[in-house]
Structure 1
């Protein structure tokens, strides 16, 4: 086991930016208003399990169904793009489903909001560069941060206020849009190189 703190820190920061749990606070608050309560521990643990499982099985699963990482990343970039548009324009593009407090902790919170296409694609990219144990520690650290943010989202809402949340939502929407464009551009280029 070779622990490298530089690798852990870099992987943590990359995942933190892609998961964007702080930017998702408005969505979490909105979801909490709809369902009443969210199981923070369950959402954090399930998202961590999804990410660690995908770290080990991601390439195999994609190969099994005949999809390469770049195609998966391009599809993921579209999802991030539409989520970003919702955040920036204040519109709803996805169909509202009736969530209970129990199901909302898993879907849409743990997946695809936290452990979504962006973070799963990022994990496959990190695996090519870093040692697996360093990435696992980075995932665990992110899960702890996710749990803290989910647990304190009501306090954060009171602190920021409605206008503050609206500003944070729009700012992070632009950041997410930029990540989506970068993910799309990088992977579409790689796809054309393969063809």
Structure 2
């Protein structure tokens, strides 16, 4: 199909991004924004999120080189961010507070930090340390299609799943994220230790 394409890598990357983007868990936030009269444009949110994420996916490496940070170090740091995100989802606590000045709902808080936030940026670069680019890009495109579908049909999705369903899904993906954080940390800390020993 494509050079370097691997079903298992693509599926693993899809699940990892699905968990960190957590659009299902964001449904109550989107509904709350709509109730407050703040317009949410599904197509605009999806396109801007995709452009930001794909831009960071390719430019993130250059930024890291600029600050002399290797991808393994970033992945270990990312593991901590993903760990904190998972704690938010599992324990119902707020660690990442959005106190920015912009009030437009499509860009803030929907695109940033809910869709294209620190967690998603971190996950993309962390995945890049392990998987072929093509698998991550396909996984990201599939996630963005899913995001568009959910954002454009938030009312129906909430009615279908119910508040209890959304709550359970959020908890489940919180545990998935926690497992991903542990795996990222253990895999990349070993590489870092090996690199330090060589020096």
Which TM bucket (shorter chain)? 0.7 to 0.9
Shift of 1:45: 1.4
**Residue 46 in structure 1 maps to residue 48 in structure 2:** yes
Q: How many residues align?
A: 189
Structure showing the higher helix proportion among its residues: 1
Distance 1:160 1:95 in 2: 27
**Secondary structure in 1 aligned to 2:79?**
helix
Distance 1:135 1:95 in 2: 28
Question: For the Cα contact (< 8 Å) 1:46–1:110, is it kept in 2?
Answer: no
Question: For the Cα contact (< 8 Å) 2:21–2:114, is it kept in 1?
Answer: no
In the alignment, what sits opposite 1:3?
Answer: 2
Distance 1:108 1:172, change over 3 A: same
Match of 2:82 among 76, 80, 83: 80
Distance 1:31 1:100, change over 3 A: farther
RMSD: 2.7
Distance 1:111 1:22 in 2: 10
Question: For the Cα contact (< 8 Å) 2:19–2:177, is it kept in 1?
Answer: no
Q: Which moved more, 1:50-59 or 1:180-189?
A: 50-59
Residue pairs, 1:88-107, within 5 angstroms = 88-97=90-99, 99-102=103-106, 103-107=108-112
Q: Which runs of 5+ in 2 are unaligned?
A: none
In the alignment, what sits opposite 1:144?
Answer: 145
**Residue 162 in structure 1 maps to residue 167 in structure 2:** no
Q: What does the per-residue CA deviation read over 1:147-187, in whole Å, with 9 as the maximum and x for residues that have no partner? A: 12222232221111111111111111111111111111111
Provide TM-score, normalisation by structure 2.
0.80
Distance 1:144 1:69 in 2: 28
In the alignment, what sits opposite 1:14?
Answer: 12
